[in-house]
Amino acid sequence: MDQLAVVLISGISSGAVYGLIGLSMVIIYRATDVFNFATAAFGIFAVYIAIAFMGLGVGLMMAAALGAAIVALGGVAVHATIIRPLGSGQMFGALVVTMGLSLVLESIAGDVWGQQPKSFPPLIEGNFRIGDAGLANQQLLNIAIAGVAMVLVSLLFTRTHIGTAMRATAESAVAAKVIGINSGRVARIAWALGCLLAGVAAVLYSSRAGVTPTVLTAALFRAMAGIFLGGLTSMSGAVLGGLAIGVLDNVAASYVSASFRDTFVFGVVIVMLLVRPQGLFGQRSFQRV
């Protein structure tokens, strides 16, 4: 029983990080129609920047916050200089651009901070025990942060003017413009928010796995699986999908095979998409042919 509890909580904790990465991608996708493949690379920059601030004597929490904030500004800059000039309706073009951007950012990170792994301390120290098994307090913090982020983003999108504007832009950028919504401002906010969340996710992930320029790649793919499981258009779906992936991954590793954990997880996602192509919480879209 202790083992099951540890496996589940640890899976939810990993899934919380996948969920935050997924949330980052869905926010940008919904507001700007861009599937940001460079999410992981943005996040890693936040961690490296945080480490640099810590080297200057800045405290851990402040350094992490500064790292995430600077990456948020970086996201705005990238949108303005690289994504926006592509024009609207260039979803595949933008996808390729963000793929390239991801490689460039990873390469820059490697050149600036080196390829050697660096450790990153947990935001909160200490462990707690469930019977004979141990869990790190940081794992609970991951879950809490993902939950808070999901609630705040949901509130932003449903209870605020800017959220309404973002949803309207996602439905139809042209119609939104007609009713006076500044789509450029919406896109900037979406990129800033998305990259901020990517930074937060990377900080949480790195406290367990350390940081290298490509350390978040595996998490990115799991986050994408979570997005499609939860529904590409759903904020809560992205987080819940990520959580489900984390739990499935750990349950498969414990009770099926540690070697086939990915096979199991992605097998479930494929079956899910066959049964419900729009994901668990996504909305089905129809297009005229």
Q: Which residues bind other proteins (CB under 8 A)?
A: 3, 6-7, 10-11, 14, 107, 110, 114-119, 127, 132-136, 208-210, 212, 214-215, 217-219, 246, 249-251, 253-254, 257-262
Minimum distance, C-beta of residue 210 to other proteins, in the bound complex (Å): 4
Of residues 112 and 270, the one with the C-beta less far from other proteins: 112
Minimum distance, C-beta of residue 5 to other proteins, in the bound complex (Å): 10
Of residues 177 and 208, the one with the C-beta less far from other proteins: 208
What is the spatial distance between Cα 141 and Cα 129, in angstroms, rounded to a whole number? 15
Minimum distance, C-beta of residue 216 to other proteins, in the bound complex (Å): 10
Tell how strand 127-130 and strand 133-136 pair up.
antiparallel
Ramachandran angles phi, psi of 231, nearest 5°: 120, 120
Minimum distance, C-beta of residue 25 to other proteins, in the bound complex (Å): 20
Instruction: Look up residue 134 and give its two tokens.
Output: 């141990």
Minimum distance, C-beta of residue 229 to other proteins, in the bound complex (Å): 18
Of residues 36 and 139, the one with the C-beta less far from other proteins: 139
Q: What's the gap between Cα 54 and its chain centre? A: 24
Tell me the sheet residues that pair with 49: none
What is the spatial distance between Cα 45 and Cα 108, in angstroms, rounded to a whole number? 10
Ramachandran angles phi, psi of 134, nearest 5°: -110, 150
Of residues 168 and 248, the one with the C-beta less far from other proteins: 248
DSSP for 27-58, written as a single string: HHHHHHS---TTHHHHHHHHHHHHHHHHHTT-
Minimum distance, C-beta of residue 146 to other proteins, in the bound complex (Å): 15
Of residues 52 and 135, the one with the C-beta less far from other proteins: 135
What is the spatial distance between Cα 216 and Cα 221, in angstroms, rounded to a whole number? 9
Q: What's the gap between Cα 231 and its chain centre? A: 14
Of residues 81 and 259, the one with the C-beta less far from other proteins: 259
Of residues 119 and 182, the one with the C-beta less far from other proteins: 119
Minimum distance, C-beta of residue 132 to other proteins, in the bound complex (Å): 8
Per-residue H/E/C for 191-239: HHHHHHHHHHHHHHHHHHHCECCCCCHHHHHHHHHHHHHHCCCCHHHHH
